[in-house]
A = this chain, B = another copy of it.
Amino acid sequence: MSELRRHPFLNQWVITATHRQDRTFHPPKDYCPLCPTQPGGFPTEIPESDYDIAVFENKFPSLSPNAGAPDIEGTELMPVRPAEGVCEVVCYTSKHDGTFAELPYQQVRKLTRVWQERYIELSSRPEVEYVFIFENKGDVIGVTLAHPHGQIYAYPFIPPTAETQLAAEKAHYQKTGRTLHEDWLADEKTDGRRIVWENHSFVVVVPFFARYPYETHVVPKQPVGSLAEMSIGMLDDLAEALLFTTRTLDKVFDFSMPYIMAMRQRPCVPGCEASVFRVEFYPPYRTANKLKYLAGSEAAMDAFINDTLPEDKAAELRSIQIDPIR
């Protein structure tokens, strides 16, 4: 029971997925569906006694390759569509109490290859317009399964925020012949105060326009649209940059930092050459014991208030020392 309903005031698709209401909710550790299946134990999502990286379709998907015709009829103003697409779960460690930040570098290298493969595969599906690789981490973000995992949503539309960004990227490209990404990054480099770290291919930056106190972006030095265009060396550099970012965030308050990790990639429709890859981290804390909530101004108006200065937060992140990653 899943469908797309058109929101005529916001011009966007809302996914209605009633079967998700009963999805697994904070199961006891012994019944974790993302752990390997123990011999004689209850069958988890992964029918193996151990695994390295496992990708499978979400058992409670918002979008599905087998989406049937909607049960409800739409109107001219408010059409409905089947909720086609794919929702995948990416288990990158069999360790129930692990975190992404604690993964060995070699494991994240492998994971970048898996992501690349999934992006290429999913973006080739005719119904898919946008492949969104992301991770929700932490109870305060709303995670219902403690076992660390990422997700992939292959949407049959370009989601609203990606569409807004795409419009800005296209307009800039048409006006200047350059990507918005490279001109923005040039500004960040000229100023320098918000740059946290860099390696050969990526820069870690708290952007000038950060909407969350510890919002941190991992951005390529040379504009590329997606994982599909990345060389092996660049994927390795991405693995290192993501580990740098998550391990640094874990040291900010000396607890494992919750976050939304959002990988922005080129939409899978023609005409999106101006769109550039970027990974954004939104940690929800503004101090060690205060959360940044999305309340009236943010949730209803999308007008964000950042209670901190990106320059200060970047300096704070720069001052944190972590062990060498590779």
A263 (CB) vs chain B CBs: closest residue:
B300
CA A310 to CA B8, docked complex, whole Å: 15
Per-residue contact bits, chain A 10-38, to B (CB 8 Å; 1 contact, 0 not):
11111111101100010000000000000
Q: How many angstroms between the C-alpha atoms of A167 and B309 in the bound complex?
A: 32
- Binding stretch for chain B, among A120-128, A203-211, A249-257, A315-323: A203-211
Q: Decide if A106 is an interface residue (CB 8 Å cutoff).
A: no
Taking residues whose C-beta sits less than 8 angstroms from the other chain, chain A's interface range is 35 or more
CB-defined contacts of A21 to chain B, threshold 8 Å: 286-287, 307-308
Q: Are B9 and A301 in contact (CB under 8 A)?
A: no
For the complex, is A183 an interface residue (Cβ under 8 Å from B)? yes
* A10 and B187 form a contact (CB under 8 A): no
Say if the beta carbon of A164 comes within 8 Å of chain B: yes
Residue in B18, B77, B169, B312 whose CB lies within 8 Å of A184: B77
- A141-B293, A184-B77 known; A280-B300 Cβ under 8 A: yes
Complex interface: chain B residues within 8 A of A299 (CB)? 260, 282, 294
4 cross-chain pairs, A with B, having the tightest CB-CB distances, nearest first: A142-B293, A262-B300, A159-B301, A7-B209
Stretch with Cβ within 8 A of B (4 or more), from A107-115, A131-139, A233-241: A131-139
CB of B308 within 8 A of CB of A10, answer no
Min CB gap A277→B, angstroms? 13
Could you tell me the dominant secondary structure of chain A's interface residues?
mixed
Neighbour of A169 across the interface among B9, B210, B286, B293, CB < 8 A: B9
B297 to A9, Cβ gap below 8 A?
A: no
Interface residues of A in 273-326 (CB under 8 A from B): 280, 282, 286-287, 290-297, 299-312
B160 touches A301 (CB 8 A): yes
CB closest residue in chain B, given A22:
B307
Of all chain B residues, the one with the shortest Cβ separation from A302 is B160
Sampled A-B contacts (11; CB under 8 Å): A6-B209, A7-B211, A9-B209, A77-B184, A132-B297, A142-B294, A143-B295, A153-B297, A155-B301, A162-B301, A260-B296
Interface pair A260/B134, CB less than 8 Å apart: no
Query: B7, B135, B297: which contacts A62 (Cβ < 8 A)?
Result: B297
Please give me the residue from chain B that is nearest to A130 by CB atom: B301
Contact A187 B296 (CB under 8 A): no
A314 to B18, CA, bound (A): 15
A14 with B159, Cβ < 8 A, contacts A295-B142, A299-B282 known:
no
Chain B residues lying within 8 Å of A266, measured Cβ to Cβ, are none
The answer for the CA separation of A165 and B160 in the assembled complex, in Å, is 13
